[in-house]
Amino acid sequence: MAVIEAVELRRTYRTSTGIFRRRAVDVEAVRGVSFEVGKGELFGLLGPNGAGKTTTIKMLITLLLPTSGTARVLGLDVVAEPREVRRRIGYVFGGDKGLYERLSALDNLRYFAELYSVPPRLQRKRIADLLELVGLTGRENERVEGYSRGMRQRLHIARGLIHDPEVVFLDEPTIGVDPVGARELRATIASLVAQGKTVLLTTHYMFEADSLCDRIAVIAHGRIVAEGTPGELKAQVADRTVVEIEAFDLAEDGIARVRGVPGVESVSVDERDGRHVLLVQSPRGLELTQPLLAALDGTSVGRVAAREPTLEDAYVALVGGDEGAR
């Protein structure tokens, strides 16, 4: 039996526009998402901002009602049996919010222990173990307002595990955390799976998904556009080559000309330290360096290199080429 099961989940938000003549507008955030997560699996939901990751997770953790479709966690319906689902799941989201800043980590953890009805005889040991797990032992009596971003995030994880849930939902847990802190968090997440927990992780960091997830579903515009192991997703672009072009004064028309070069499959732009890096995917064996440089005529170009595709390139190909899925 699948631990998490989503079948044709849809969620539409109704917003309104105008001041005097208000008009209701329906926005489809999730458009029929289906997937299953097995016991002890670390499943990644990968997608750009606004793709529908958080909406999907919020339906699964009972905070949002689906417009249609069904979802079950540990065999329990998230709409009909929310309290039973909540008892068995943990939820952690990324960012600064979600903690009582004026109080200590210990106060925060004790409060949530009461809300999750953790028996008093278990609380002390559970909290000590979790503080140890997330590396906050010795800092638990300090006010949270003095914590770094990474420490807050680790406290979030401890809070999400306070009732020893079987299933843990992690919504972009490393967002905004420095590289060292993010690496420690990833190690903590990996240890959850080692303890036998089932984890659903949303992220838009490819290397994070690549290093942690057993399986990944790529979500874009509210739909799952690909699903498989990191290796299977990478294999989807194995027949491509990626050309990286460093550019210093890149303009929109330059990017448009690159897109128009025959043989170009997809183009994305990364900003790195004040410069742009164009990532151009094309079929393997097709030599495009000269036509690409010609298309960028008038733009200051630095380093140019061709390389093998990564999971990130697979993701760009899937997300960038999903317009037909709309």
Which residues of the chain form contacts with other proteins (CB under 8 A)? 13-14, 58, 61-65, 83-84, 86-87, 91, 93, 95, 97-103, 107, 110-112, 114-117, 120, 159
Shortest Å, Cβ 83 to other proteins: 5
Q: How far apart, in whole angstroms, are the C-alpha atoms of residue 103 and residue 122?
A: 22
Question: Measured from the CB of residue 56, what is the shortest distance to other proteins in angstroms?
Answer: 13
* Residue number, 2 or 63, with CB nearest to other proteins: 63
Contacts 24+ apart (CB under 8 A), 292-297: 292/243, 292/245, 292/258, 292/261, 292/264, 293/245, 295/254, 295/257, 295/258, 295/260, 295/261, 296/245, 296/247, 296/250, 296/254, 296/257, 296/258
Burial class, 210, CB count within 10 angstroms (exposed 0-12 / middle 13-18 / buried 19+): buried
The residue among 113 and 277 lying less far from other proteins, judged by its C-beta, is 113
Q: How far is the CB of 187 from other proteins (least distance, A)?
A: 24
Closest CA to 236 of 280, 267, 281: 281
Place of tokens 């399986």: 215
Q: Smaller CB distance to other proteins: residue 14 or 125?
A: 14
- Please report how close the Cβ of residue 54 comes to other proteins at its closest, in angstroms: 9
Closer CB to other proteins, 100 or 205, in the complex: 100
Which CB atom, from 111 or from 325, has the smaller least distance to other proteins? 111
Shortest Cβ 173–other proteins spacing (Å)? 14
Q: How far is the CB of 183 from other proteins (least distance, A)?
A: 25
Question: In the complex, what is the shortest distance from the CB of residue 276 to other proteins, in angstroms, rounded to a whole number?
Answer: 34
Length of the chain: 326
Residues 6+ apart with CB under 8 A from 18: none
Q: Would you call 91 helix, strand, or coil by DSSP?
A: strand
Report the candidate in 239, 245, 258 with the shortest Cα–Cα distance to residue 302: 245
- Nearer to other proteins among residue 101 and residue 287 (C-beta): 101
What's the rounded Cα separation, in Å, for the pair 166 and 170? 13
Q: Smallest distance, Å, CB 142 to other proteins?
A: 14
- Give the separation between CA 216 and CA 198, rounded to whole angstroms: 14
d(CA 250, CA 17): 36
CB 206 within 8 A of CB 313: no
* Residue with smaller CB distance to other proteins, 22 or 97: 97
Between residues 125 and 272, which has the closer beta carbon with respect to other proteins? 125
